[in-house]
Amino acid sequence: MELGGPRCAGLVLLLLLISCGQGRGADPINIWPMPKSVTSGKQTLLLSNDFVLNTQGSKYPDSSGILKDGFSRFLQVLRASHVADSNSSYSSAHFPVCKGLHVVILSPNDKLQYGVDESYKLSVTALGAVYAYLEANTVYGALHGLQTFSQLCHFNFKARVFEVRQAPWTIIDQPRFSYRGLLIDTSRHYQPLIMIKNVIDSMAYTKLNVLHWHIVDTQSFPLEIPSYPKLYAQTRGINVLAEIDVPGHTQSWGIGYPSLWPSTDCQQPLDVSNELTFKVIDGILSDFSKVFNYNFVHLGGDEVNTNLCWLGSHYELLKKKGLNESEAYQYFVLRSQEIALSHGYDIVNWEETFNNFGSKLSRKTVVHNWIGSGVAERVVAAGLRCIVSNQDKWYLHYLDTTWQEFYMNEPLTNITNPKQQELVIGGEVCMWGEYIDGSDIEQTIWPRAAAAAERLWTPYDKLAKDPRRVTGRLAHFRCLLNERGVPAAPLNGPGRVAPEEPGSCYKQ
C-alpha cells in the first residue's frame, strides 16, 4: 500500500472519483484521538500550493507567534518529504481548491493553565469554499484543531498534490479530561534535550497536554532551572508539571549538601530534623515558581522507607516534637505542602501520602494513583482530586502491557457519582527512566501512550468497548507518526517490538 493510500490510480481517479467513493461503502475515519463529533463526506479537495493562514476576524493578536508557528509546523509536517507538482494534471478544473485555513480565535488571552478551554470546531466544506474554517475559544484549542486538520490532509503520490479527502468535514471537539499526562524521568538516564523536544512534539500530535517532568531522583540531580524547554512546551499547548520527589528518592541531593543526608552511611529519606532540608525545598520551589507556571507542582512522597534512617532517638526534632518515624513522614509531607502553597501552587502527591494520612493532606492536593486499584475511588470519596496512572496498565516500561490494555484502562472505573467523577481530573502514562535512554525512549512511549491519549480525550460513549475496533485507525496513526519521524513501534505484540515481516506499515 502506498503511504498516501490513494484509492484509485492517477488520471483514472479524475473520472472515477465519485464511484470509487461510493462503491466501497463508508470510508473509515482515520483521526486519532477520535473527536467528540465528526461527520464526513465523499468529495476531494486540493490544497493550494501556497496554502495560507487567514486570521480575519480573530480576536487573538498572536503577539507571541503561537498560532503562526503552529501553522508553520503544520505545513512542515505535511510537506515533510513530499514535493508537490504545481503543474499536476490534477487541476482546479476538476476539484475545488482549498486556498488556506481561516482561523478565528475568540479569546485574546494565551495564558496556558490547567482547565484552559481546548475546544475547537473545524469545517472543510467541499463546494465553493476557498478556506477551511477553524474556530476556537483559545489558541490552544486552535492548535488541537490544526493537529486534527493535519490528519485530514494527504499527499497523493500519483498526482503529486496535497488533498483533503472525505469532504465535507464537520468536527466539533473538546477533551474529556483536562489533565492528559506523560511522565518522563531525567534522573535515571540522561535524556538528551532533543529527545525531550521530540517527545513534546509527538505529545501534541496525540493531544496529550501535560509533561510530568520527574526531574531528580536517587541517582542524579540534573536540575538547573532552564526556562527554555518549558517555553518550548507552552507554545505547543503543553503544560510542564515539575516534580521534586521528597523525602524519599533523594540520595543525590546530599552530593552537593551532605547535611541533607540523615548520616553519611544512611542517605535517604532527607533529614527531617534539619531545617536546611526545608530551606532547600523552599529555594527550589521559589525557583520553580518563576519558571513553571502550571497550577500544580508535584512533591512526590512515594516509597518513603521510614525505617531506614529515621529510626532511633538521635533525631533532635523527632524527640523534641515527640514524633515517631511514621508521624515524621506525615510532618515532612505536610510541611512541604505548606511551602508549595506559599509559592502559589496546588500540590500533586503520590498515593502513599493519601494511603497513610489522607485526611491530613491539604484540600488542594491532587492524589496521584500509581500502585493499586480502588485508590481513585477512595480519593474522590474523600473529596480530593485524583490523577490515575495505575502501574498495571499505564506504566510504559512494562513492555508486556499491550496497547490494548493501555486503551481499555478506564479512569472512572467504579466511580459513578457525577460529583466524584469530576474530581478525577485525568490520567497519565509513565515513562520511568531506569530501562530506557535516548536510544529507545520514543518507541517505548509510542504507540501505547497514544492508546491512552484517546481514552483521556474522547467522550466515553465514543470509545471502543473492544480495542479490535480501533486497531486499523491506531495503525494508521502509528504510520503517520513514523512518517513524521517519530519511531513509534508496531502494534503487533507488546511494547517496543520490531516489525514481524516485510509488508505495509498498516499491517505491522
Ligand X SMILES: *[C@@H]1O[C@H](CO)[C@@H](O)[C@H](O)[C@H]1NC(C)=O
3-state secondary structure of 185: strand
User: Any contact of residue 87 with ligand X (CB under 6 A)?
Assistant: yes
> Using the rule CB under 6 A, which residue among 377, 405, 442, 454 binds ligand X?
377
Beta-strand ranges (E) seen in 137-188 are 153-156, 161-167, 169-173, 179-185
CB atoms within 10 A of CB 374: 11
User: Least CB distance from residue 153 to ligand X, whole Å?
Assistant: 21
| Nearest distance in Å: CB 393, ligand X | 9
Q: Which of 395, 1, 332 is nearest to 181 (CA)?
A: 395
Tell me the closest approach of the beta carbon of residue 225 to ligand X, in angstroms: 37
Q: At its nearest, how many Å lie between ligand X and the CB of residue 374?
A: 4
Residue among 37 and 324 whose Cβ is closer to ligand X: 324
Contact call for residue 312 and ligand X (CB under 6 A): no
Stretch that binds ligand X, among 37-45, 131-139, 211-219, 325-333 (CB under 6 A): 325-333
Length of the chain: 508
Instruction: Write out the catalytic residue numbers.
Output: 303
Residue 220 makes contact with ligand X by CB under 6 A: no
Shortest Å, Cβ 412 to ligand X: 9
Q: How many residues bind ligand X, per CB under 6 A?
A: 11
- Minimum Å distance from CB 409 to ligand X? 8
Assess contact for 382 and 360: CB atoms under 8 A. no
Report the site for ligand X in 406-425 (rule: CB under 6 A): 413-414
Positive or negative: CA dihedral 36, 39, 44, 45: negative
Site for ligand X in 183-212 (CB under 6 A): none
Asked whether the beta carbons of 389 and 183 are under 8 A apart, the reply is yes
Of the ranges 10-18, 245-253, 290-298, 369-377, which one interacts with ligand X (CB under 6 A)?
369-377
Our finding on whether 327 is near ligand X (CB under 6 A) is yes
Q: Which is nearer to ligand X, 87 or 313 (CB)?
A: 87
CA-based torsion, 27, 31, 36, 40: positive or negative: negative
Among the listed ranges 164-172, 174-182, 370-378, 453-461, the one in contact with ligand X (CB under 6 A) is 370-378
Do residues 118 and 175 lie in contact, with contact meaning Cβ atoms separated by under 8 Å?
A: yes
All three cell numbers of 232: 518550548
Query: In angstroms, how far is the first alpha carbon of the chain from the final one?
Result: 12
Tally of CB atoms within 10 A around 259:
12
Cα distances (angstroms) measured from residue 43 to each of 5, 79, 163, 166: 15, 22, 10, 5
CB of 291 to ligand X, least distance (A): 36
| Residue 340 CA to its chain's centroid (Å) | 24
Of the pair 7, 94, the CB lying nearest ligand X is at: 94
Cβ-based nearer residue to ligand X, 256 or 418: 418
- 158: buried, middle or exposed (CB in 10 Å: 19+, 13-18, 0-12)? middle
Pick one of 91, 113, 324, 439: the residue that binds ligand X (CB under 6 A).
324
Residue 279 vs 319, nearer CB to ligand X: 319
Range in contact with ligand X (rule: CB under 6 A) among 18-26, 252-260, 323-331, 339-347: 323-331
Choose one: 63-71, 113-121, 169-177, 373-381; the region binding ligand X (CB under 6 A). Answer: 373-381
- Does position 326 interact with ligand X (CB under 6 A)? The reply is yes
User: With contact defined as beta carbons under 8 Å apart, do 46 and 93 qualify?
Assistant: no
Q: What residues contact residue 315 under an 8 Å CB cut-off, 6+ apart?
A: 272, 273, 328
List contacts with ligand X (CB under 6 A): 86-87, 324-327, 373-374, 377, 413-414
